[in-house]
Amino acid sequence: MFQRLYATTVNAAAHPKASLWLAVLAFAESSFFPIPPDVMLIPMVLARRAFAWRYAAIATLGSVVGGICGYVIGALFLESLLPWLHELGYYQGYEAARGWFSRYGFWAVLLAGFAPIPYKLFTIAAGAVAMPLLPFVAASVMGRGARFFLMAGLARWLGPVFEQKLLKYLDWIGWTLVAVIIVVFVVYRLL
């Protein structure tokens, strides 16, 4: 199922309405869909490098609006979603996200927006624990924007070689960046 969804997403990158599809995919991924917008953003940038920043902005905006939708889902519909989270295997991730919110709030959303972890769990958890909306949106814009502008910039700069390397090392790169962000946060808190 996921391979077919992935292939459909990559094919949509060549469509004349690809920008709209990118926004829809970014929106959906932030609240309920399993395929990240990077799989469409990178081929779009490779096809039209001059539009890299526009595509990154579209992905960021769609993702933040989708994150707000996930926040509302968590705030209003969490009780009815709990069985679904259990069934799809997301419940433990959701519980971990709630724990992060109790300790880190803004920083948890910022990190989740950038890292290769399911951002939708954090958007739903933010609404469920009633995180203040303005810090949630600010962290989402910063985290998602940093991720999509970095991906678009690398794809623009490195071209097709980037796509091959990214797909091969995406998890390693993502977790390294998570570790760097955590170290920066700890150093910031200690100083």
pLDDT score recorded for residue 24: 92
Kindly give the residue spans of alpha helices, DSSP state H, lying in the chain. Answer: 2-12, 18-31, 38-47, 52-88, 91-104, 106-114, 119-128, 133-158, 160-190
Is there a contact between 127 and 76 (Cβ–Cβ < 8 Å)? yes
Q: Which mean pLDDT values do the consecutive 10-residue runs of the chain (191 residues) have?
A: 55 80 91 80 84 96 95 89 80 78 80 78 85 93 94 86 65 66 72 67
Is there a contact between 142 and 113 (Cβ–Cβ < 8 Å)? yes
**C-alpha distance from residue 110 to each of 26, 91, 115, 128, 157 (Å):** 16, 21, 9, 17, 25
Is there a contact between 24 and 58 (Cβ–Cβ < 8 Å)? no
Q: Would you tell me how many other CB atoms lie within 10 Å of the CB of residue 134?
A: 9
Q: What's the CA gap between 135 and 20, in Å, rounded? A: 27
Is there a contact between 14 and 127 (Cβ–Cβ < 8 Å)? no
Is there a contact between 74 and 101 (Cβ–Cβ < 8 Å)? no
pLDDT score recorded for residue 2: 44
**C-alpha distance from residue 130 to each of 72, 102, 113 (Å):** 10, 11, 18
Structural domain span for residue 102: 2-190
- Specify the number of domains making up the chain: 1
